[in-house]
Amino acid sequence: MKFLFLIQVAEGAHPATPDEGDATGWVEEAGSRRLIGNQTDDWSTAKTVRVRDGETLVTDGPFAETKDAIAGYDVIECGSLEEALEIAAKHPAARFGGVEIRAFVE
């Protein structure tokens, strides 16, 4: 099973220490289960595109009635949702932000 981890962080939120935000150990522990991942650019550069009644609307920012924004992503392959939850709980951002988990439709 493949899962998308959306790393969520509130604007201005930072880890308590530089080590708390360092994902190096998490990446190493996830090993070959982590297929791809990356940090995204600052959300001040984000745009949201919607099409309504044939008109394309472009809005600055990623916000959808929330203070959290996507700060990065990982694609993980593992055997079950329970395993994905365990891996997500170990992500550094889970301590000062959140990790949304979405299963891919296969």
Average pLDDT over residues 37-63: 81
What whole-number distance in Å separates Cα of residue 89 and Cα of residue 78?
14
**CATH number (domain holding residue 25):** 3.30.70.1060
| Residue pair 70/5 in contact by the 8 Å Cβ criterion | no
Q: How far apart are the first and last CA of the chain?
A: 8
Rg (CA), the chain: 15
The predicted-structure confidence for 70-103, as pLDDT tens digits, reads as follows 889 999 999 999 999 999 999 998 888 889 999 9
Q: Which of 19-23, 37-41, 65-69, 81-85 has the highest mean pLDDT?
A: 81-85
- Cβ pair 23, 73 in contact under 8 A: no
Token pair in block for residue 43? 């959300």
Domain span holding position 66: 2-103
* Helical (H) or strand (E) element with 2: strand 2-10
Does the model's pTM come out above 0.75?
yes
